[in-house]
């Protein structure tokens, strides 16, 4: 699938206007261009009956189908990017647009030997890795979603308990410790505990052997324990 600059600019406009206006913008832009073969069905909510791979195949034949992939992944990817970047929400939104544009451009290069979800998360990871060294901002002031249950799960996994068997640390303390982690360690913690990725999925996303994933998780949890003990 050869994509023109105009095609990419169209998708950039759709992404720019955000979730609320995507269906309307997409419909108007495609209608304005007079493109044939674009069906309004693809401008509706996620086509839940289709697998990711099925949507990829249809998007390669009909560009409007790509909107369904955007809808399916915009929420999870925005949460992932925001968490890794310590809730710099403005930058996360910009990176999300770049992720979807690059995914669109290279969609015909997707290799279904790995899940599409791992492939698009890999693109997001690469965008974050490229952005962070260029950014002087290390944290944002945007209010987080309520992740208390997820931080509680990390606290349980760290197994820091007193003699009475009660966990010695609170979700708020775990949150602060996670924010202190370097980017690489924070990334694996976010993928493991927040995005609930398996070790194999993490290996696909980060392009690492599974044994390296296990080592990174071990190092990250040890760092968390050190930060938590320092209080």
Express each pLDDT in 21-58 by its tens digit.
444 344 334 433 444 444 444 444 446 688 999 999 99
pLDDT at 53: 92
**pLDDT tier, 176 (very low <50, low <70, confident <90, very high otherwise):** confident
Spatial separation of the C-alpha atoms in residues 107 and 71, rounded to whole Å: 16
* CATH dotted code for 148-230: 1.10.10.10
Residues 103-131: tens digit of each pLDDT:
999 999 999 899 999 999 999 999 999 98
Q: Among the CATH numbers 1.10.760.10, 1.10.1740.10, 3.40.50.10490, 3.30.420.40, which is that of 5-134?
A: 1.10.1740.10
DSSP state of 8: H
Query: Which residues is 161 bridged to in the sheet?
Result: 167
- Pick the residue with more confidence: 63 or 210? 210
pLDDT at 109: 94
pLDDT at 39: 41
- Pick the residue with more confidence: 14 or 225? 225
Q: What is the mean pLDDT of the chain?
A: 76
Flag whether pLDDT at 171 surpasses 60.
Answer: yes
Could you tell me the residue ranges of all domains in the chain? 5-134, 148-230
Q: Is 204 exposed, middle or buried (0-12, 13-18, 19+ CB in 10 A)?
A: buried
Look up the pTM and report it: 0.72
């Amino acid at each position: 699938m050869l994509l023109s600059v105009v095609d990419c600019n169209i998708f950039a406009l759709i992404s720019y206007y955000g979730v609320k206006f995507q269906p309307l913008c997409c419909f108007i832009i495609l209608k304005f261009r007079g493109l044939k073969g674009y069906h309004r069905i693809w401008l509706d909510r996620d086509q839940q009956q289709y697998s990711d791979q099925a949507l990829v195949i249809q998007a390669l034949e009909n560009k409007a189908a790509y909107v369904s992939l955007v809808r399916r992944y915009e929420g999870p990817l925005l949460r992932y990017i925001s968490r890794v970047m310590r809730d710099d929400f403005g930058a996360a939104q910009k990176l999300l647009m770049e992720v979807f544009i690059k995914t669109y451009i290279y969609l015909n290069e997707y290799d279904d030997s790995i899940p599409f979800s791992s492939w698009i998360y890999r693109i997001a990871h690469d965008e974050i890795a490229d952005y962070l060294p260029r950014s002087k901002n290390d944290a944002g002031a945007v209010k987080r979603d309520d992740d208390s249950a997820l931080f509680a799960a990390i606290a349980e996994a760290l197994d820091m308990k007193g003699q009475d068997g009660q966990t010695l640390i609170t979700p708020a303390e775990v949150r602060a410790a996670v924010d202190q982690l370097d980017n690489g360690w924070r990334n694996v913690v976010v993928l493991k505990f927040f995005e609930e990725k398996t070790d194999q999925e993490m290996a696909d996303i980060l392009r690492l052997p599974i044994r390296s994933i296990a080592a990174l998780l071990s190092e990250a949890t040890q760092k968390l324990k050190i930060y938590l003990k320092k209080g």
